A and B are shown apart, each in its own frame.
Chain A
Amino acid sequence: DVKVTQSSRYLVKRTGEKVFLECVQDMDHENMFWYRQDPGLGLRLIYFSYDVKMKEKGDIPEGYSVSREKKERFSLILESASTNQTSMYLCASSLWFRRVSEAFFGQGTRLTVV
């Protein structure tokens, strides 16, 4: 079974803090994604990585950065957390063999910025 593990289920941070959300997958997938989920807005792509050290901006990258130093790990960084970044963050991974394949999601991190 593919497993995508996010480091925290719930997180409370203060405005202005630097926040790290970690995601690890155990199936040697090339692709990893960070989405945020807000009511009525669905899943919005923040960043996407298709290989180690390779990344691509999604639809809402402002205020975020990412790091992928190893294939299995994809980190989302909030440089200076703000209250409008309070949300559910979902990490996902998928296999890429020159065709699109299903995404496997982690359990999500509910981040509250106060």
Chain B
Amino acid sequence: GQQVMQIPQYQHVQEGEDFTTYCNSSTTLSNIQWYKQRPGGHPVFLIQLVKSGEVKKQKRLTFQFGEAKKNSSLHITATQTTDVGTYFCAGANAGGTSYGKLTFGQGTILTVHP
């Protein structure tokens, strides 16, 4: 079945440093989504990318979807303590009748030291 791998598993940064997490799928994706889970909370949707090579920005966050639609990245510029949490990517298979089934990566736990 479809596998979504995410690296790194952990990232510790000083406040103000940049952060990037990467997501790779074993199959071509129809889209990729990104979620953030604060400590003690549940995952919350951040964004969805659909087009090959798509780049979207949300303030200090930049999301990219690869040309082959098999990989994606999330980059945070100048991290803040409010960025602390676990970032997940989630992909849906291209084609077939998956009806929107989402497969999540393992997540990257971000710690920001003030």
Contacts and interface: CB of A to CB of B under 8 A. Distances in A.
A102 B42 contact: no
A50 B99 contact: yes
B104 A100 contact: no
Residue from A43, A58, A106, A108 having most chain B Cβ neighbours under 10 A: A43
Interface residues on B, range: 20 to 34
B37 to A, nearest CB: 9
Interface of B: 1, 6, 9, 30-31, 33, 35, 41-45, 48, 88, 90, 92, 99-107
Given A42-B6, A90-B43, A108-B42, A102 B33 contact: yes
B104 A50 contact: no
Interface of A: 30-31, 33, 35, 40-45, 48, 50, 56, 58-59, 90, 92, 94, 96, 99-108
A99 B90 CA distance: 15
Residue from B1, B88, B101, B102 having most chain A Cβ neighbours under 10 A: B102
Contacts of B42: 90, 105-108
Given A42-B88, A103-B45, A105-B42, A33 B106 contact: no
A103 B102 CA distance: 9
A42 B107 contact: yes
A41 to B, nearest CB: 6
B1 to A, nearest CB: 6
Nearest to A38: B106
Contact of A42 (B100, B101, B106): B106
Contacts of B90: 43, 103
B92 A42 contact: no
A24 B66 CA distance: 35
Nearest to A90: B42
Contacts of A56: 99, 101
A43 B44 contact: no
A48 B101 CA distance: 7
A62 to B, nearest CB: 14
Given A45-B102, A100-B30, A104-B45, A59 B1 contact: yes
